[in-house]
Amino acid sequence: MNRATDYASVMARKTEIMKASVGIDYADFESGSIAFDYEAMMRETGYNLDEVRAIQSAVGVGDTHILEMKNLTKLARKLAAPGKGARIFIKDEAMNPSGSFKARRAAVSVYHAKKCGFKGVLTATSGNYGAAVASQAAMLGLKCIVVQEAYDSRGIGQPEIIEKARKCEALGAEVVQVSVGPELFYKFLLLLEETGYFNASLYTPFGIAGVETLGYEIAAQFREKIGRDPDVVVCTNAGGGNVTGTARGLRKAKSSAQVVGASVDLSGLHMASDRDFNRKSFTTGHTGFGVPFGVNPDRSDVPRSAARPLRYLERYVTMGQGCVFYITEALASLEGLEKGPAGNTSLAAAFVLAQEMDEDQVIVVQETEYTGAGKHLQPQLSFARHNGVEVKYGDPADETPGKNIILPKDPSFVKIKDIDLDNMRRSLVQNDLKDLKARSGADAEPTEDDILYMAEETNTDGDFVRRTLAELK
C-alpha cells in the first residue's frame, strides 16, 4: 500500500513507525498523566548487566584502559592552593573498535537488531555514534544507514562532521546528509518506514544499557588500581545518555563517586538555526543539547528517552570553546595523547575541578574519543575564522559564542561555570505541567504519583516538586 510521504503525513505516523522499528510499545509504561514507569522501560531490553558485558566483549567493546594524567595533575597542583590538586585519570574509550564510548551503545542495539531478524540498522547522528553503529553492523553482517545533519543552506559542512561522515562510509554505512532544520527527523522516519530497518537510536533502553558497563568498569578498575572508588567522575553532557548510562553503572557497582556533567558553553546560539550552525566549533557536548535535553528529555527520536540526566547529575559545569581547545593541545604536548574534542570537554572541567579537591583525591574523565583530520583543533579554528569568528588569546570569560573564541593566555585562565541545577529542575517540572495541560486540559493537575515521578526525574523530593508547582501557579 502506497502511503503519503509528505512531512505532515509522515510525522503523523511517527508513533506507529517507532513501535515497528524499535519493538517496544512505549504505551505499556504510560500512566495517562505525567508519570511513566522508567525502570520498567529500562528492563524492556531483556538483558542484564552481565549479558550486556558479554555482548560487548564478543565484539571487542569495553574493558578499556585507565590512564593517569601525571603531567596535567602536576600543572593543576601548581595552580591550586597548598594541599589541593586531585590526581587526574582518563578512561580511554578511544580503544573501542569505532574509537569512542558510543561503541558500547551500538553493540547492544545492533546485537538486538540481529537477534530480532532485522536486515539493517538506521540511526540519526552527527557522526561518532553513526561510526559505532556502522562498525557493529559490519561485524554482524547487517546493512547500515546513517542520517546526518551536515550542512547549512549554502551546502557548507563543519570539518568535524565531514570527518565523521568519511569514517561512517569507511565502515560500510550509507550516509544520507541533510541540511540543518526539521528535515532530519522527517527523513529519518521516512527511511525507517521504507527500509523496515531497526531504529538504533541513541535514546532507546538498549543504548543506555550499553553505557552502564562503562560506569561499572570505572568502579571495578579503580577498586583494583587504588583500592577504592574515584571521588568524582566527569561526563561530557549532550543528549544525556553518557551521564545516564555511566551513573546507572556506577550505582549498580554501589560506587560512592560524585557524577559531574560538563558541556561547552554555546549560550546564544540556536542549534536549529541556519546562521548559527557553522558559527560553533563543537558538534556535541555543548549546552545547545545539554540544557534542552536535560529539562525536556523526550525531544529525541523515540517516544520516551532512556537518557534522563537530571536523575543523576550532582553538578553541572560549562566552559568556553577556547578552554577546551587549550586543554586538547595541553593533553597532546604534556601527556603525548591526541584525543578528539568531546572527551576533552570533560577533561577541561576535570583540570579545574582537580584544583578544588585535595591531593589525595581522584577525579576521572570517563571517556575519550578518536581524533582525525577534521577533529583536530586547527581545522576547527580555521573554519571558525572563515565564518567570521575571531580567534585570539586572552581571558575566556570574555568569550561570546558565535562571535569569538578566546584561548586562555595561560593555564590559570582555564575556568568553569556552574549551571544552576535547581533552575533546570524547576524547568523540567514546568515542562511536564505544560504537557499535562496541553493533553488533558487547562484544569488538569498532577497526581501524587506524578509528584513522586517528578521527584525522581529531578533527583529531589516531593517537597521540592510541590514548592515548584506552587511557584508556577
Burial degree of 295 (CB within 10 A; 0-12, 13-18, 19+): buried
Q: What is the CA angle 216-130-101, rounded to 5?
A: 20
In total, the chain counts a number of residues equal to: 473
Q: Is residue 291 classed as helix, strand or coil in its secondary structure?
A: helix
Q: Which tens digits make up the pLDDT trace of 434-461?
A: 999 999 999 999 999 999 999 999 999 9
Residue 451: phi and psi, rounded to 5, are: -65, -45
Q: Which tens digits make up the pLDDT trace of 329-355?
A: 999 999 999 999 999 999 999 999 999
Q: Residue 417's beta-bridge partner residues?
A: 318
> Are 88 and 76 in contact, with CB atoms under 8 Å apart?
yes
Tell me how far the alpha carbon of residue 367 is from its chain's centroid. Answer: 11
- Please give the pLDDT value at position 336: 97
Residues of the chain with pLDDT under 50: none
Q: Using CA atoms, how far apart are residues 226 and 228, in angstroms rounded to an integer?
A: 6
Question: What's the pTM?
Answer: 0.96
Q: Which of 176, 205, 234 marks a domain boundary?
A: 205
Asked whether residue 54 is domain-assigned, the answer is: no
Q: Using CA atoms, how far apart are residues 91 and 68, in angstroms rounded to an integer?
A: 9
Q: What is the CATH number of the domain that holds 18?
A: 3.40.50.1100
- Please give the pLDDT value at position 3: 87
The count of structural domains within the chain is: 3
Domain assignment of residue 67, given as a range: 59-96+208-418
Asked whether residue 36 is domain-assigned, the answer is: no
Q: Which tens digits make up the pLDDT trace of 80-126?
A: 999 999 999 999 999 999 999 999 999 999 999 999 999 999 999 87
Q: Which letter does DSSP use for residue 134 in this model?
A: H
Of 344, 351, 353, residue with least CA distance to 260: 353
> Are 87 and 362 in contact, with CB atoms under 8 Å apart?
yes
The CA R_g of the chain, rounded to the nearest whole Å, is 21
> Are 454 and 465 in contact, with CB atoms under 8 Å apart?
yes
| 189 shares a domain with 269 | no
Q: Is residue 200 classed as helix, strand or coil in its secondary structure?
A: coil
| 372 shares a domain with 270 | yes
Q: How many CB atoms lie within 10 A of CB 27?
A: 12
| 250 shares a domain with 153 | no
| 466 shares a domain with 384 | no
- Please give the pLDDT value at position 245: 98
Asked whether residue 399 is domain-assigned, the answer is: yes
Reading the block at residue 55, the C-alpha cell is 555482548
CA atoms within 13 A on the CB side of 83: 0
| 445 shares a domain with 402 | no
| 356 shares a domain with 267 | yes
| 404 shares a domain with 264 | yes
- CA end-to-end span of the chain: 49
